[in-house]
Structure 1
Amino acid sequence: MATDAKTLYFGYGSNLWRDQMNRRCPDNKFLGTTRLADWRWIINTAGYATILPSEGDEVYAFLYELSPADEAILDGYEGVPTSYVKQTMAVEYFGTKDYGVVRHGKRIVDALVYVDVQRVKDGPPKTEYIYRMNRAIADALAGGIPKAYIEKNLRPYIPAPASE
């Protein structure tokens, strides 16, 4: 039985780059900024972003609404189930839509998160990924993700472009 149910997606790596998301997932709807507590962002030994459980840390992302077709397309880009696995996580949502539930004064939504559970050690980024991540970082900053978060978590792996 086919379903038209939408999926909320937590995009924390190069999918912070809104143009890339629009090209990959043409039906996506950008919903705003979100945060996952007690996880941290890394570039793993495969050369791409993943997140790891880490008490006291946090990962910021953009929240997108995906159609079933877009989710299937994104599964292909993310290499499900070989490279990444799909998990559902409760994340804090800062956007304007009335999604989720309010707990302890925070709006919480359940979101799809792609996680590499095999390659969990730090590594250098793929050369092509640096370009995409720099576009993602520019959009992240424009979209309200804190600069301090970018500097602490992403910049140690992703050098700024020469023009900055």
Structure 2
Amino acid sequence: MALSATPTLYFAYGSNLRRCPGSNYIGIALLTGWKWFINTCGYANVKWSTGDVVYGMIYTLTPEDEAKLDQFEGVPKDYIKQTLCVEFLGEREGGKMIQALVYTDVERLNEGPPKTEYITRINRAVDDARQEGIPQEYVDKYIRPFIPADILRN
């Protein structure tokens, strides 16, 4: 499969971006009608859910970084790649709907406890996201039921 020469817009809702040195942060976006949770494998996932939302960070991915994420996410066995419509919440283009790559696990849709090693990574991602403007109310409602805030971070 040939890699695209153009960057991909990527909606990150978990901890992946530390694996993508060529990615550029663009801004915050909202995926409406989906819900963030930890699945039975112990990792973040999103599933369709009326009345819920998922906040995420939009990045551009180089073809090389996208290929790395595909491998890390176990595409197509563990996660699949979907292009979904998200609402960009950036200052200049707030409210604009854009298409973005979202990794989802469509097989494991039940909730479960997080992997111990994953807690610190998600807390780091939450810290980054909060600095960029993701609301604390969202973190409290969706992430904190799965990921405790008081885990010692390295």
For the aligned pair, the TM-score class normalised by the smaller chain equals over 0.9
Within the candidate set 73, 76, 97, 2:71 is matched to 76
**Structure 1 vs Structure 2 CA RMSD:** 1.8
How far residue 148 of structure 1 moved from its aligned partner, in angstroms, is 0.1
Is it true that 1:7 corresponds to 2:8 in the alignment?
A: yes
- Which of 7, 32, 37 aligns to 2:27? It is 32
Give 1:106 deviation, angstroms.
2.3
Distance 1:39 1:129 in 2: 22
Residue 97 of structure 1: CA displacement? Answer: 6.0
Q: 1:123 to 1:4 in 2, by over 3 A?
A: same
Distance in 1 of aligned mates of 2:60 and 2:21: 11
| Amino acid paired to 2:75 | V
- Which residue of structure 2 aligns with residue 18 of structure 1? none
Note the C-alpha offset of 1:96.
Answer: 4.5
1:127 is aligned to 116
Q: Residue 139 of structure 2 aligns with which residue?
A: 150
Asked if 2 retains the 8 angstrom alpha-carbon contact of 1:34 and 1:91, the reply is yes
Q: Is the 8 A contact 1:7 1:67 kept in 2?
A: yes
* Equivalent residue letter for 2:122: M
Counterpart secondary structure, 2:123: helix
> Tell me, which stretches of 5 or more residues in structure 2 are unaligned?
none
Task: Give the Cα separation in 2 of the matches to 1:2 and 1:158.
Answer: 35
Distance across 2 between alignment mates of 1:94 and 1:13: 18
Match of 1:87 among 79, 82, 87: 82
What is the CA deviation profile of residues 70-116 of structure 1, one whole-angstrom value per residue up to 9, with x for unaligned ones? Answer: 10011111111111000000000012565xxxxxx820110000000
Q: Is the 8 A contact 1:11 1:62 kept in 2?
A: yes
Cα 1:106–1:126 change in 2 (3 A) is same
CA-to-partner distance for each residue in 1:100-144, whole Å, 9 max, x for gaps?
xxxxx8201100000000110000000000010111111111110
Task: Give runs of aligned pairs for residues 44-63 of structure 1, distance below 5 A.
Answer: 44-63=39-58
Q: Contact 1:6–1:68 at 8 Å: present in 2 too?
A: yes
Of residues 25, 36, 41, the one that matches 2:36 is: 41
With structure 1 as the length reference, what TM-score do the two structures score? 0.87
TM-score scaled by length of structure 2: 0.92
2:77 alignment partner, SS class: coil
CA contact (8 A) 1:31 1:97 kept: no
1:117 is matched with: 106
